[in-house]
Amino acid sequence: MATITLRGISKAFPGVRALKRIDLSFWPGEVHAVVGENGAGKSTLMKILAGDYRKDSGEIQLFGRVEELGSPRGAQQMGIGMIHQELTLLPNRSIAENIMLGREPGLGLVNRKLMIQTARDNLKQLGLELNPMAMVSFLPIAVRQLVEIVKALSLNAKILILDEPTSSLTETETRILLDMIKTLRERDMTLIYISHRLEEVFEIADRITVLRDGQLIATKSINETNPSEVVKMMVGRELGDIYNRVATPKDEILLEIDKLGGKNFRDCSLVLHRSEILGIYGLVGAGRTEFARALFGLDPVISGKVKIEGKQIERLSIRAAIARGLVYVPEDRKTQGLFLELSVRKNLTINMLDSLSYWGLLSFRRLAEVASGLIERLKIRPPELFKRIRHLSGGNQQKVVIAKWLSVQPKILVLDEPTRGIDVGSKAEIYALIDKLATEGVGVIIISSELPEILGISDRILVMKAGEMVGEFQREDATQDGIMHLAAGAES
Amino acid sequence: MIQRYNSVLILIGLYLVLAVISPLFFRMQNLVNIFMQSSITAIVALGLSLPILTGGIDLSVSSTAALAGAISAGLIVRSGWSVFSAIGLALLIGIGIGALIGLLVVLGRLPPFVASLSLMAVGRGLTLIYTEGKPISGLPAGYIALGSGSSGSIPNLVILLLILTFMTHVLLSRTRYGHHIYAIGGSADVARLAGIPVGRITISVYALSGFAAAFSGVLLTARLWSAQPTAGTGLELEAIAAVVIGGNSLMGGYGNAFGPVIGALIMGGIGNGLNLLKIPSYIQQVVRGLVLIVAVMADFRSHRNNAAAI
């Protein structure tokens, strides 16, 4: 018998039909991947299953009985656990307190012994030897995720929804998580796995459901399909090579970094040519972001020299960097790249207000012109000046972050994880944009932890490990194995 | 977060320095003075630390204290109420004001800062209306004993503080309610997801803060032998400083019951030391402001380091 059967689930938000009559069943002992582009409706569907949203129509059967989930709490009590993308553990509390949160044993007074013992038992059931009294803030992200799973299971979850669980994990950590998922499958749990990473999906899922524009496109057994077919179903069109490279690097050197050292990186040297796309690959924690931040003057530099167009920069600072045409697009667009509550227009023009004002007053007409121009050039959707950034999709938000820097006519663009958490279609557009900028003579440094992306987009690839540049590949010689070998150390 | 033991070290260090500077400092009379002075701040801070643990703030404590002191005194002196029922009503009013702030925060979705700032003005206004701007004196011995008397050789104020500290400690560390307060401060969403009644608890912490403020107002009145319309001015700053110096995070989710008390003793020691050094009280105000700045900077800095370490 299916653990969950959905019949005709629909949900509309003001102006949008988010889900249209979804019929779907989940079985015990299966890992069921749900994939789709951003805005396809997968998170809406999962939120309905987790009791966050109420469906407009249709019915949900749990173990054959029609149920109303009502609230996240209600869903939890009926055995549906959700592991959110943002972890939901309290950092300043112990593992035990987190696992037992809201269910602390004892009447009024908490029975600490029992609480700790119960937590320890729960951890043991999944083979985790952790001190239940340890503060969560001291645990690595991956371990926190496991604790989160333990918490869900201790609530007697029969169904576990994992929303992009590997997005902030290193490769090794991902392995541990995937193994855990396999263990849970053997215990006849239903696992619903949402991910952008198709490699993972194909490794772990038994069945895969593709959503597009709120509709269920297909549910297939993993043996009957392949990644390219899934991508095709996701985007609804043939997606040619998403890495369509036109630009070719020139000989002229734009940027020369000599033995730059700072917090978490040292002796990093590189050369960037005009119209070149240089990829920097490294595992999480390799020091890539720290390197880029220091280059842009965000963090202090201890040693080394930086030359832009042959001229040495005396002191790295954000002002100096921008003045010389070097800009950095940070990895977390929501907290570092955008003003989520402000309009598209304001976000696009924030870096050029000086040049758009007369006698100290802003010209709204000029602002609108410039913003419209950028919207057109980068195909930002919807093309509305006054839409709040929060309401744009991840891909379009990313375009806005890049666009706002184009206004200062950069010569060197440093992009840190430019496609994290955005869908395939938007990725292709971002790649096309990067290539176009390179054609126009911009030198691009792209930092990424997605190997296919680095391999697909870069003219040259530098590998970073433990704060140092450990290798360099030309586009032709680069292979996944070769890069991984360097990035991960001896074995890969 | 100022680390838990740092505040104890600061306390000891401060008192040693003061002892070196002024030979009068370690006299029994002076120490008792500091303790009594600090007790009132400490009780306010204990109450206030609950909203702060949930990530909120309560600025109304000073005027709630004044209102409770005035009403309890007025009911006894003007209306002939018994000490017991007058104080009882004053405490209920404190709880009511706190609950109202909580309701404004939870149902009205006001930021705690605005909700409590508004009620701070309301409370002070009501106090001035009720007292007509004049002190109320002529309090009976039973009332005054609460703040000025002692049992054996220990001042009643200190005994009350010890009891309240112990109760708060048990509440925070041993009860489900206490654990849920931390949870809300850590993340209200997570708490809600765990089935914790976030709204009700939020309202209740402000009610408890109002209760503590009202109680300290009564004690202050008893200590001063009269209810002053401007009593407790600046008490919120003193109490917030005590909470933060004691090592509880202003961002919520981290801290304990002893911190605010130690913080209050530090603030009391600073005030006393400045007095002994004959520094004018106007300058003392400036010092208090600066101390709060330094304490909050330390709190935020360590919070940031903590976040970076994750």
pLDDT digits (tens, 9 = 90+) for B183-211: 999 889 888 888 889 999 999 999 999 99
Contact between A102 and B196 using a beta-carbon 8 Å cutoff: yes
The mean pLDDT value for B205-226 works out to: 97
Which domains are seen in chain A, by residue range?
Answer: 4-235 (3.40.50.300), 253-488 (3.40.50.300)
Q: A350 touching B, CB under 8 A?
A: no
In a domain, B222, yes or no: yes
Of A88, A92, A108, the CB nearest to B254: A92
Contact between B190 and A108 using a beta-carbon 8 Å cutoff: no
Contact between A108 and B177 using a beta-carbon 8 Å cutoff: yes
Rg (CA), chain A: 24
Largest CA distance in chain B: 61
Q: Which of A163, A28, A157, A16 has the alpha carbon at shortest distance from A86?
A: A163
Of B178, B187, B195, the CB nearest to A90: B187
Q: A76 touching B, CB under 8 A?
A: yes
Give the minimum alpha-carbon distance from B164 to chain A in angstroms, rounded to a whole number.
17
Tell me the residue length of chain A: 492
pTM for the model stands at: 0.76
Residue B284: pLDDT over 50: yes
Q: A102 touching B, CB under 8 A?
A: yes
Give the minimum alpha-carbon distance from A135 to chain B in angstroms, rounded to a whole number.
12
In a domain, B309, yes or no: no
Name the A residues in 43-72 with CB < 8 Å from any B CB.
72
Give the minimum alpha-carbon distance from B161 to chain A in angstroms, rounded to a whole number.
22
Cα–Cα distance, B58 to B237 (Å, whole number): 10
Contacts of A90 in chain B (CB under 8 A): 182-183, 186-187, 190, 253
Contact between B186 and A91 using a beta-carbon 8 Å cutoff: yes
Say how many domains are in chain B. Answer: 1
In a domain, B250, yes or no: yes
Contacts of A103 in chain B (CB under 8 A): 194-195
Of A93, A109, A112, the CB nearest to B182: A93
The mean pLDDT value for B53-60 works out to: 96
pLDDT at site A40? 79
Contacts of A102 in chain B (CB under 8 A): 180, 183, 191, 194-196
Of B176, B254, B306, the CB nearest to A108: B176
pLDDT in tens, A255-288: 999 999 998 899 999 999 999 999 999 877 788 9
Question: Per mean pLDDT, which range of A81-85, A439-443, B220-224 is the poorest?
Answer: A81-85
Contacts of A73 in chain B (CB under 8 A): 193, 195
pLDDT in tens, A186-216: 999 999 998 877 888 999 999 999 998 788 9
pLDDT at site B260? 96
pLDDT at site A491? 41
Contacts of A263 in chain B (CB under 8 A): none
Q: A109 touching B, CB under 8 A?
A: yes
Q: A112 touching B, CB under 8 A?
A: yes
Helix (H, G, I), strand (E, B) or coil at B175: strand
Residue in A closest to B187 by C-alpha: A90
Residue A88: pLDDT over 90: no
- Full 3-state SS string of chain A: CCCEEEEEEEEEECCEEEEEEEEEEECCCEEEEEECCCCCCHHHHHHHHCCCCCCCEEEEEECCEEECCCCHHHHHHCCEEEECCCCCCCCCCEHHHHHCCCCCCCCCECCHHHHHHHHHHHHHHCCCCCCCCCEHHHCCHHHHHHHHHHHHHHCCCCEEEEECCCCCCCHHHHHHHHHHHHHHHHCCCEEEEECCCHHHHHHHCCEEEEEECCEEEEEEEHHHCCHHHHHHHHHCCCCCCCCCCCCCCCCCEEEEEEEEEECCEEEEEEEEECCCEEEEECCCCCCHHHHHHHHCCCCCEEEEEEEECCEECCCCCHHHHHHCCEEEECCCHHHHHCCCCCEHHHHHHHHHCHHHEECCEECHHHHHHHHHHHHHHHCCCCCCCCCEHHHCCHHHHHHHHHHHHHCCCCCEEEEECCCCCCCHHHHHHHHHHHHHHHHCCCEEEEEECCHHHHHHHCCEEEEEECCEEEEEEECCCCCHHHHHHHHHCCCC
Give the tokens for residue A389.
Answer: 């950034």
pLDDT > 90 fraction of chain A, expressed in percent and rounded: 39
Q: Which residues of B touch A (CB under 8 A)?
A: 170, 174-180, 182-183, 186-187, 189-196, 253-254, 306, 309-310
Contact between A93 and B180 using a beta-carbon 8 Å cutoff: no
What ipTM does the predicted assembly reach?
0.81
Q: A156 touching B, CB under 8 A?
A: no
Structural domain span for residue B263: 4-304
Cα–Cα distance, B149 to B159 (Å, whole number): 11
Residue in A closest to B197 by C-alpha: A102
CATH at B12: 1.10.3470
Contacts of A91 in chain B (CB under 8 A): 186, 253, 310
Query: If you average pLDDT over every residue of chain B, what do you get?
Result: 92
Query: If you average pLDDT over every residue of chain A, what do you get?
Result: 87
Of A72, A104, A137, the CB nearest to B193: A72
In a domain, B28, yes or no: yes
pLDDT at site A490? 47
pLDDT in tens, A109-133: 999 999 999 999 999 988 888 899 9
Contact between A102 and B189 using a beta-carbon 8 Å cutoff: no
Contacts of A101 in chain B (CB under 8 A): 179, 183, 190-191, 194, 196
Q: A310 touching B, CB under 8 A?
A: no
Contacts of B175 in chain A (CB under 8 A): 108-110
Residue in A closest to B255 by C-alpha: A92
Rg (CA), chain B: 19
Of A73, A92, A110, the CB nearest to B176: A110
Cα–Cα distance, A430 to A422 (Å, whole number): 10
Considering A240-254, A453-467, B296-310, the range whose residues carry the highest mean pLDDT is A453-467
Q: Where are the beta strands (DSSP E) in chain B?
A: 136-137, 150-151, 154-155, 226-227
Give the minimum alpha-carbon distance from B254 to chain A in angstroms, rounded to a whole number.
6
In a domain, B206, yes or no: yes
pLDDT at site B310? 32
Which candidate in A100, A101, A332 is best for mutational testing of the B interface (most B CBs within 10 A)?
Answer: A101
Contact between B195 and A76 using a beta-carbon 8 Å cutoff: yes
Contact between A102 and B180 using a beta-carbon 8 Å cutoff: yes
Residue B306: pLDDT over 70: no
Q: A335 touching B, CB under 8 A?
A: no
In a domain, B254, yes or no: yes
